[in-house]
Structure 1
Amino acid sequence: MQRSTDAVDRPYVHVITPGDHYSPRTGSAVPTVVDGLVRGASAGSAPSSVVVARGTYPDRYPGVDVVEYPQVSARRADRYLDAASSRVGLPRFGARRAFAATVQDQASWAPSFVLAHNAPQLVPLVDPSRHLPVLYAHNQLLRTYGHRELARTLGSVHRIVCVSSFLADETVSLLPRPLRDRVVVVHNGVDAPGSPSAEPRPRGEHLHVVFVGRTIPDKGADVLVDAVRELARDDVKLTVVGSAGFDAAAPLTLHEKDLRRRASGSASPVTFTGFLPRGRVREILRTADVVVVPSRWAEPFALTALEGMAAGAAVVASDIGGVPEAVGSGGVLVPPDDVRALAQALAALADDDTLLARTKIAGAARAHEMDWSRARSRLDAVLGSARARTPGADA
């Protein structure tokens, strides 16, 4: 493995999942993170580019060079063939065929960090004599791998970046010993408010509670709907933003229909917006008094929690996975899948304007310290691309 001293001034090439959109129209978290890391660069940071499939949304995030490639269509049998190949010690040829298109022009790129976002199978396709491959893990990616396959697939990896210490610990537990010291943590960031000490906006006639996320069981929107229904208060209103996927026109799933059925019996007004592009999501967050992240699964990181804080809302979130690392001391944590505990937390904020204001202020301060510039400084430091480390970047 090349030492980080060879890495100063190397550009960053971010490779997102084939077919994903590098656009504010998508609800996918990975493009949001890549855009934040690009914009968080300091004057001394190396330049960045993003590798994007041709034919994806044309209204892309600004301020970065986009490298297009013709996407290779996935074959229906690839997933099953890859699973079978991995069990007998062969490479996952289907995944590699799709990812090979993303780096087909890598010989013409300047020596770079190639950041493979959620893509272990891209790592062995990066030419290690020219580039430094980096696996950027936003989720747990390695549960289906054995040590032998991981050693073969990730042997050339420069670093394995995880978005939380929780995810890093899980990842290390799955890796063969020689790869474990390559795991580093770079927490996600947020567009911080201008002044963390600004007076929080007062609540209106209703305490406006907002959920943003995919409306699937893992995300726990049903827990929030049930908590609001248990409150039975007409001075609380709930807005649920999101769909099961990232398509506003998709038909409702059984779970989404059940959410609406549950909400119909609530004394509190409940609105379902369906999927919205990020610009509209930000507008709704700016009207929120409380943003709730009620996940019942161990999320690696809760980007929505930081976005709620940055928008000036108090945040209540599940105490699970990497969510507490996002929330820090800026919000209220409740046990996951606990309707009564969530209802009690919301009631406390609805009944006490001082507590609500204090929680909003704490959240704004947390968002300010988690600005994207801090995340980028940390990334530069752990990859060895920074000439001088920013004070506190390794915190």
Structure 2
Amino acid sequence: MTRVIHTITPWDHFSPRTGSAIPTVVDGLARAALACGDDRHAVVVERSTFQPRYDSADAIEYSGRHVSARARQYLDPALGRLALPRIGAAAYFRPLIAALRSEPPSIVLAHNAPQAAWLLRDTDHRVVLYAHNELLRTYTRREAARALAPAHAIVCVSGDLARRTRELVGRANEGKVHVVGNAVDTTGFAPGAGRSEDGPMRVMFVGRVVPAKGVDTLLRAVAGFERSELEVVVVGSAGFDPSAPLTEYETELRALAATSGPRVDFRPFVDRTGLPGLLRTADVLCVPSRWAEPSGLTVGEGLATGLPVVASRVGGIPEAIGPAGLLVAPDDPVELEAALRRLLDDPGLRRRIGRAGRDWATSHDWAWAWRHLRDVLDAVSPGRDG
């Protein structure tokens, strides 16, 4: 296969010191490629970002250029509606694109960068847009069709995201859309000895503590439980800085927790190295998102750890959880309370769901994801019809 180069967003960190999803996906895919006997991947990364870096891919460094966020958030969509180039995004990605131009022809996996195919259209690179989110919501169909015309494929991390993407990319690009679900490191995330069933059931949330993640829904759902029945651990911060001041939302959550029956323990952001051990201290993982998460990595990590996962029935989460776990309506504390009560009252059910989750995770590890992605990339490699 032609060499694979990943691009991540400028100033994103290809390092286990961050909790960012895209570097985790890149590391998982690159590591799986090596394990499957395929060539080593590379990743284009801004040189000032966190060290140490993951050792699964070669780093191609460049010096980034800061561009006004207002230009990218407000000016660019206005230009797009007028069928004019998005000058803010072009300037923001220009140093990254320059680094790619100095590389031999490769398959470029442009993670969350719909601009990359157009900016590299005059090169011999085969560009694949790797969509982790609904990237084209500010694009008109005409602009999306033009921007993605040079793309050789579009990979989405769930069927739900692929459906929404096909509606936006224009008829000429619909056939380029493929689904490669996110996976999990089943070696790093694995069951532990298990907690005693004599004490309170420990329900854990892990992720960014922002309104979209629905931590307030979890706290409202557990308010009526007794302290002897349940305890809650909320792990995360608004961003990836554990020492950052609390946001207004984080402060509101602490006030809400003060009125709750169970004990609620707030812990700041934990990097990738500390997460597997932390999950092994839980009895249940809760993913109460109220937004349409395309494919939550935390879901798979909880399943791989052997935890019963209770998650919102929204976006790509049902695909990630498969036949394991319990799904509830988003933003519905009553339904979430009932699901937690069911697990509390039936330890045997917790064990059965946990085993089913582990089985699902082991069949959806990074080698599984890489094999599916490799099929897509083989089809767009030089010498093949794409």
TM-score of Structure 1 vs Structure 2, range by shorter chain: over 0.9
Match of 1:176 in 2: 170
CA shift digits 1:152-175 (9 cap, x unpaired): 211110110000000000000112
Residue 55 (structure 1) aligns with: 48
Q: Deviations over 1:361-380 (max 9, x none)?
A: 01101111110000011100
Residue 393 of structure 1 is matched in structure 2 by: none
CA contact (8 A) 1:14 1:49 kept: yes
* Equivalent in the alignment of 2:202: 208
**1:156 matched to which residue of 2?**
150
Letter of the 1:18 partner, please give it.
P
> Which amino acid is the alignment partner of residue 11 of structure 2?
G
Is residue 370 from structure 1 mapped to residue 364 from structure 2 by the alignment? yes
Letter in 2 for 1:32: T
The code of the aligned residue for 2:32 comes to G
Does 2:320 correspond to 1:316? no
TM-score by length of 2: 0.93
TM alignment of 1:157-306, pairs within 5 A: 157-193=151-187, 203=197, 205-306=199-300
Do the aligned partners of 1:200 and 1:312 also contact (CA within 8 Å) in 2? no
Unaligned runs of 5+ in 2: 382-386
Give the counterpart letter for 2:218 in structure 1.
L
Give the corresponding residue for 1:43. 36
1:267 is displaced (CA, Å) by 2.3
User: Paired residue for 2:18?
Assistant: 26
The residue aligned with 2:137 is 143
Partner deviation per Cα, 1:136-191 (whole Å, 9 max, x = no partner):
00000011111221222111101100000000000001121010000000000001
- In structure 2, the residue matched to 1:10 is 2
State the distance in 1 between where 2:272 and 2:45 align: 19
Change (3 A) 1:386 1:181: closer
Distance 1:140 1:50, change over 3 A: same
Number of residues of Structure 1 aligned to a counterpart in Structure 2: 379
- Once residues 346 and 259 of structure 2 are traced to their aligned partners in structure 1, the CA distance between those partners, rounded to angstroms, is 26
How well do the aligned residues superpose, as a CA RMSD in angstroms?
2.1
Equivalent in the alignment of 2:87: 93
Amino acid of the structure 2 residue aligned with 1:172: R
Q: Is contact 2:101-2:123 (8 Å) kept?
A: no
* Separation in 2, partners of 1:107, 1:153: 18
**Displacement after TM superposition at 1:311 (Å):** 1.4
1:65 aligns with 2:63: no
Q: Which amino acid aligns with 1:17?
A: T
CA distance 1:241–1:58, shift in 2 (3 Å): same
TM-score (norm 1): 0.91
State the 1:81 CA deviation: 2.7
Once the two structures are TM-superposed, the CA of residue 128 in structure 1 deviates from its matched residue by 5.2
Secondary structure of residue in 2 paired with 1:375: helix
How far apart are the structure 2 equivalents of 1:141 and 1:197?
Answer: 35
SS in 2 for 1:209: strand
Deviation at 1:307, TM superposition (A): 0.4
2: CA distance, partners of 1:129 / 1:194: 39
Helix, strand or coil: the match of 1:119?
coil
CA distance in 1, matches of 2:162, 2:190: 29
Q: Is the 8 A contact 1:313 1:363 kept in 2?
A: yes
Q: 1:101 & 1:170 partners in 2: Cα distance?
A: 30
Structure 1 residue 74 displacement after superposition: 1.4
Q: Partners of 2:282 and 2:209 in 1: how far apart?
A: 19
Residue in 2 aligned with 1:392?
none
User: Aligned-pair distance for 1:265?
Assistant: 1.8
Q: Deviations over 1:59-90 (max 9, x none)?
A: 11112101110011113552233223212211
Alpha-carbon shift at residue 43 of structure 1 (Å): 3.5
Deviation of 1:200 after TM superposition, in Å, equals 6.2
Q: Of the two structures, which has the highest relative contact order with CA contacts closer than 8 Å and spacing of 6 or more? A: 1
Shift of the alpha carbon at 1:195?
11
SS in 1 for 2:49: coil
